[in-house]
Amino acid sequence: MKQKILLFTASAALAFLTLSSNENGPAHGGEGNRTGGPGASGSCGASNCHSGGTGTTTGTVEIRKKSAGLSSTPVTTYEGFVDYYVTVTGTNSALSHFGFQLDALNTANTNAGTFSNFPAQVYSATAGGRTLIEHSSPIAKTGGVYTVTFEWKAPPSGAGKVTFYGCLNAVNNDGQKTGDQPGTPFSVALTESPSSVNQVVQNISINTYPNPFRSALNLTMENAGTGIYNITAYDLRGKQIYNEDMRYNGGTFTTAINTYKWAAGTYFIQIVKDDFKQVVPVVKQ
């Protein structure tokens, strides 16, 4: 009798795993990358994912400069270390909820930039070395359409073209993989704005030394307009690790940046004031 019970339990568990949906996101559910982009295991409609719904599902992604607002025109270029809104939208006339997965890759098909400020029911996952943004539970329609927005900080200047790959799945919200309607994978490519690579204002001189450095990094600035300048340091993944404002009153300005807790590697020092921005790569040994 015990053996029969154990066999029944094992069979029931297998059936549950086979029929259950990826309602907490494909990467979190063990299905990995389903964006349909480079390195993905297909899309939301691939084998062992979702199928069987009615109607046609559309999906798109649009990128807008955060400083321009959500009502601005989507961009086709980006500037290094600038913040953007990422909006995934879609439609399906029959089904009430949706899920999605999205990533951003450079020309080497590795992670480009960093995502943040996720709304409810959205979070990040990692699969195959890729950062994937996906639903944590089915998301209901808003005003008759599927829509979700979060933020993306562009990679450092010089990173080149970035492509966003994604897939949207319309679901009937019954907790199963059947009865849903996956959409076709979508993508959008952003070329790097030339101005983000060469944003050096004439006559302004900014230097860092020593470079490479070990514990402290010195920054000097000359021939700049007086006022408050913001100094920010980012690692290769675009994560901010240092930030301070400095007042420049003319002449030669020198400040020491405490890098004692920084790990060895390459960093980018960004100096910003109004329309002026310069990014300087530095290396800690």
pLDDT in tens, the chain (285 residues): 444 444 444 444 433 333 345 789 999 989 999 999 999 998 887 666 777 665 799 999 999 999 999 999 999 999 888 899 999 999 999 999 999 999 999 999 999 999 999 999 999 999 999 999 999 999 999 999 999 999 999 988 778 899 999 999 999 998 888 889 999 999 999 998 865 544 434 467 888 999 999 888 999 988 887 888 899 999 888 888 999 998 888 888 888 998 988 999 999 998 888 777 888 899 999
Assign residue 279 the CATH number of its domain: 2.60.40.150
**Residue 227 placed within a domain:** yes
Question: Are the CB atoms for 204 and 278 separated by under 8 Å?
Answer: yes
**Residue 211 placed within a domain:** yes
User: Going by C-beta distance under 8 Å and a sequence separation of 6 or more, which residues neighbour residue 255?
Assistant: 218, 219, 231, 246
- Are residues 59 and 187 both part of a single domain? yes
Question: Which tokens belong to 87?
Answer: 């909006």
Question: Which tokens belong to 5?
Answer: 């019970």
The predicted pLDDT at position 15 comes to 39
- Are residues 137 and 263 both part of a single domain? no
The predicted pLDDT at position 276 comes to 78
Tell me, yes or no, if the pTM score tops 0.75.
no
- Of 195, 230, 262, the one marking the end of a domain is 195
- Are residues 109 and 171 both part of a single domain? yes
Strand partners, 36: none
**Structural domains of the chain, count:** 2
Strand partners, 246: 229
- Are residues 117 and 247 both part of a single domain? no
What whole-number distance in Å separates Cα of residue 265 and Cα of residue 282?
A: 9
The predicted pLDDT at position 216 comes to 85
* Residue closest to 35 by CA, chosen among 186, 198, 229, 238: 186
Assign residue 58 the CATH number of its domain: 2.60.40.4060
- Are residues 148 and 224 both part of a single domain? no
- Are residues 42 and 108 both part of a single domain? yes
- Are residues 216 and 257 both part of a single domain? yes
- Of 178, 195, 212, the one marking the end of a domain is 195
**Residue 1 placed within a domain:** no
- Are residues 122 and 255 both part of a single domain? no
- Are residues 162 and 191 both part of a single domain? yes
* Residue closest to 168 by CA, chosen among 61, 38, 55: 61
**Residue 13 placed within a domain:** no
**Residue 14 placed within a domain:** no
Burial of 60 (0-12, 13-18, 19+ CB in 10 A): middle
- Domain membership of residue 224 as a residue range: 200-284
The predicted pLDDT at position 38 comes to 95
- Are residues 162 and 239 both part of a single domain? no
**Residue 9 placed within a domain:** no
The predicted pLDDT at position 249 comes to 85
| Pairing relationship of beta strands 130-135 and 146-153 according to DSSP bridges | unpaired
What whole-number distance in Å separates Cα of residue 238 and Cα of residue 245?
A: 19
Burial of 80 (0-12, 13-18, 19+ CB in 10 A): buried
DSSP3 helix / strand / coil % (the chain, rounded to 5): 10, 50, 45
- Are residues 77 and 214 both part of a single domain? no
**Residue 2 placed within a domain:** no
Look up tokens 């329309």; give the residue.
275
DSSP string, 73-139: PPPSEE-TT-EEEEEEEEE-SS-SEEEEEEEEE-TTSSB-SEEE---TTEEEEEETTEEEEEESS-E
**Residue 12 placed within a domain:** no
- Are residues 168 and 233 both part of a single domain? no
